[in-house]
Amino acid sequence: MRGYFILDDLSIYLNDTRTNTEIEVRPVDKEWLYPNDAPSFSLYEVRPNGQLGDMIMTSAVTKRGHPEALKICLQAPAPTLEVIVPLGLALWAEDRFATYCYTPNVYR
């Protein structure tokens, strides 16, 4: 697999080098990464005409202020190539949120 992503709006472009299949996923809302909250997004596969297709993944905050409670829901019964990269980015963003939650701050 090869590809790249745009962190600001969570757009992901992949190429499955086994089949030379191009995959593009992006969210409906570009805002997904917050400095003091868990990541929140719904990712969709992009069709060849540029329109959004099927949802492939979504995140849900189950308890505000609890970084261990992020829920990731996949539409497929097993992870596919287009899920690996956004899942890694979601875990990275959740780690940022956990650092925020567990760092003492007198101004909160």
Report the pLDDT value the prediction gives residue 108, as an integer from 0 to 100. Answer: 54
* Nearest Cα residue to 32 out of 75, 94, 83: 94
Instruction: Identify the domain containing residue 77 by its residue range.
Output: 2-102
Is residue 9 in some structural domain?
yes
Domain total for the chain?
Answer: 1
Report the pLDDT value the prediction gives residue 49, as an integer from 0 to 100. Answer: 94
Sequential pLDDT tens for the chain (108 residues): 899 999 899 999 999 899 998 999 999 888 898 878 888 999 999 999 999 999 999 998 777 767 778 889 988 887 777 888 889 999 998 888 888 877 887 665
The single residue listed with the structure tokens 């596919």 is 80
Distance of CA 39 to the CA centre of its chain: 8
Is residue 107 in some structural domain?
no
